[in-house]
Structure 1
Amino acid sequence: MNAGFQLTDVPRIERISKEDFFEQYVKPQKPVVIDHLIEDWPAYEKWSLEYIQEKAGEKTVPLFDSNEKISSKYKFNEPHKYMKMRNYIDLIKKGPTSYRIFLYHLLKEVPALQKDFSYPDIGLRLLKQIPMLFFGGEGSKVFMHYDIDFANILHFHFHGKKRCIIFPPSETKYLYKVPHALISREDIDFSHPDYEKFPALKNASGYVAELNHGETLYMPEGYWHQMTYLTPGFSMSLRAAPRHLPNLSKALYNLFFMRHFDNAMRKWKGQDWIDYKNRQAVKRTNRKNHIS
């Protein structure tokens, strides 16, 4: 019997050509950390919490509370509160906090920041309309999930250190996926999992990476990821549409049906719908793994 799930360090490379990146990582759908992909960006030298505070301090930003359990009070990806960016950065610089910024289109709100980066010529057709920024204070976490659009993701980290635990789609059967959602059970602590409560996790195999300023994590289509900010910091993601037809179909289903169906059920059934989905996550996963 496995003692617990296995996490292997994400492979690291210094630099890579677009041809090698495509052949070695995109085609086989394998993750990698690239240490020196963006050293020619102005952002590599300029982007810090202080710089963002200077350029975007007066912008109102949506905050998500890592300690707030998913409930029928909120729609899919609905923020828990709002705050001025200046005040939020002051908050995360003071000490640990559970508040984070998730999927915020700050580059659209502050066009000047677009001059600080370019789109890497790395063999992916990156979508130029939706670069997204993510911020967190020390100890804030993003629960285990996969992205609604099944994108290929380049995730660039700035200012501080961040731990990323990722699993390929093949491991979904062990991760207690919540039905009609993009998440695993939110009460699973992937740093210290409870195998008595969630025994199928023992069979999962994934990867872990700690990202420092200026490093890039490539996550292939449909990869599960859970992020923990070890220090205050922020990241930016660039995305490329899924290349595999089944993943494109799943993305369209998620975007045009699943999230709207889930919001409607939350409104109709309330907390009973959330509780039902959490029970089903356990029942379905244990049944697939022949766990009684």
Structure 2
Amino acid sequence: MNEDKSPLRPEWRQWLAENLALGVEQEDVHRVLVAAGVDPALARAEMAAVAGHPYFKACLQVARHFGWMESLMDVYSELRAQDGGRELEVRERIAPEEFFQRYYFGHRPVVLRGMMEDWPALTRWSLPYFRERFGQVEVEVMVGRDADPEHAALQDRHRARMPFAAFLDKVEAAEQTNDFYMVPRNDNWRRDGLSPLREDLRAPRGIIDPGLLPDMMTLLLGPAGTVTPLHHDNMNILLGQVLGRKHVRLVPSFERHRVYPHRGTFSHVDAGKPDLVAHPLFAEATVLEAVLEPGDMVFLPVGWWHWVKALGVSASVTFHHFLVPGGNTHLEAPF
């Protein structure tokens, strides 16, 4: 098949080959193509051409190899489901020993409550507080997100600096928007002007390194409607919700083959409104969810997929320096 002469757009040819290699039923693939406006006869011809192409046959051999790995992951998923793994556990004032044994080393997410009761931030943090104490400090934020579906993966294109007060004005004036956000990939904690904010935090005793140095944590702040798209981190993360509420959805790391990975750590699936016609395998994914209230923490194990939406003006802090021998566990990209 000469791809240059194919009337099907390149992105659809890629989608077609990927879904056939993943084992999606041909009738389901054909139905999606036709629904997208592709002539039914052309869709059949393209499917036949792809299936007979030597490149696709080589791709199919690789897919079968990974199919065995996915089958093992399915077994793990089923065993986890039998062990209560279809519910996101919520624990109150858990002891560090149990946290590490059951959740950190057990590779299980959990919502933790009662771990932030000694945080001054819970009573201090508000937009007026930030403006009065830190309004003149220059901060780095992400802007123009709505115009770029790839904004989360291409953050360098969206970096902007402005006085903290100017950013707070935008947050306060917005009702619901995903267009601007102070996200983890910034160096705001390193700015001398914001360093007093760290005094409002406390490391969960026995779980997180108490040093709380700037490179040990991140700050997230934005208006209602900000969304972190479905993705996974390459290390374990503990997120503490300080201001406002957040809706979180999680998918196990061992169900990667059901989330249509994109750019390595991101997903093609909009976990807020999944399109099960375009992404039918996501219907089989285990989705755990919770609404985080101020004072709640959620442990996100390395490789677990998560989607997060702010339900109001929201401020969160994440930690990744766990008190474990050898430090955090990192997921290395295969290539």
TM-score range relative to shorter protein: 0.7 to 0.9
Superposed CA deviations along residues 111-139 of structure 1, whole A, max 9, x for unmatched, are 11121112222335577433110112111
1:170 pairs with 254, 264, 287, which one? 254
Report if aligned partners of 1:66, 1:142 keep a CA contact under 8 Å in 2: no
Equivalent residue, structure 2, for 1:143: 229
2:289 counterpart of 1:208: yes
Q: CA deviation at 1:9?
A: 4.8
2:106 counterpart of 1:24: no
DSSP-derived class of the 2:219 partner? strand
CA distance in 2, matches of 1:53, 1:166: 33
Superposed CA deviations along residues 69-126 of structure 1, whole A, max 9, x for unmatched, are 2469x95544254432212222222222221111133332211112111222233557
Q: Structure 1 stretch 105-114 or stretch 235-244: which is displaced more?
A: 235-244
CA distance in 2, matches of 1:130, 1:54: 26
Equivalent residue, structure 2, for 1:197: 278
Higher strand proportion (structure 1 or 2): 1
2:148 counterpart of 1:69: yes
Q: Which structure's relative contact order is higher, taking Cα pairs within 8 Å and 6+ residues apart? A: 1
* Length-normalised TM-score, structure 1: 0.73
CA distance 1:249–1:101, shift in 2 (3 Å): closer
* Length-normalised TM-score, structure 2: 0.64
DSSP-derived class of the 1:202 partner? helix
Report if aligned partners of 1:162, 1:230 keep a CA contact under 8 Å in 2: yes
RMSD of aligned Cα (Å): 2.9
Equivalent residue, structure 2, for 1:182: 265
Report if aligned partners of 2:303, 2:331 keep a CA contact under 8 Å in 1: no
DSSP-derived class of the 2:183 partner? strand
CA distance 1:71–1:118, shift in 2 (3 Å): closer
CA distance 1:87–1:15, shift in 2 (3 Å): same
Higher helix proportion (structure 1 or 2): 2
Equivalent residue, structure 2, for 1:87: 166
Q: CA deviation at 1:204?
A: 0.6
Question: What does 1:70-149 align with in structure 2 at a 5 Å threshold?
Answer: 70=149, 75=154, 77-94=156-173, 95-98=175-178, 99-103=180-184, 104-109=186-191, 110-124=194-208, 128=213, 129-147=215-233
2:88 counterpart of 1:15: no
Report if aligned partners of 2:140, 2:159 keep a CA contact under 8 Å in 1: no
Q: CA deviation at 1:157?
A: 0.9
DSSP-derived class of the 1:134 partner? strand
CA distance in 1, matches of 2:204, 2:187: 19
CA distance in 2, matches of 1:238, 1:207: 21
Equivalent residue, structure 2, for 1:273: none
CA distance in 2, matches of 1:192, 1:76: 23
2:314 pairs with 233, 237, 240, which one? 233
Q: Which amino acid aligns with 1:183?
A: F
CA distance in 2, matches of 1:14, 1:71: 37
CA distance 1:75–1:221, shift in 2 (3 Å): closer
Equivalent residue, structure 1, for 2:330: 248
CA distance 1:167–1:196, shift in 2 (3 Å): same
CA distance in 2, matches of 1:44, 1:169: 31
CA distance in 2, matches of 1:24, 1:135: 30
CA distance 1:244–1:201, shift in 2 (3 Å): farther
Report if aligned partners of 2:111, 2:298 keep a CA contact under 8 Å in 1: yes
DSSP-derived class of the 1:34 partner? strand
CA distance 1:244–1:221, shift in 2 (3 Å): farther
Report if aligned partners of 1:174, 1:201 keep a CA contact under 8 Å in 2: yes
Q: Which runs of no fewer than 5 residues in structure 2 stay unpaired?
A: 1-80
CA distance 1:33–1:249, shift in 2 (3 Å): closer
Consecutive aligned runs of 4 or more in structure 1 exceeding 6 Å deviation? 241-245
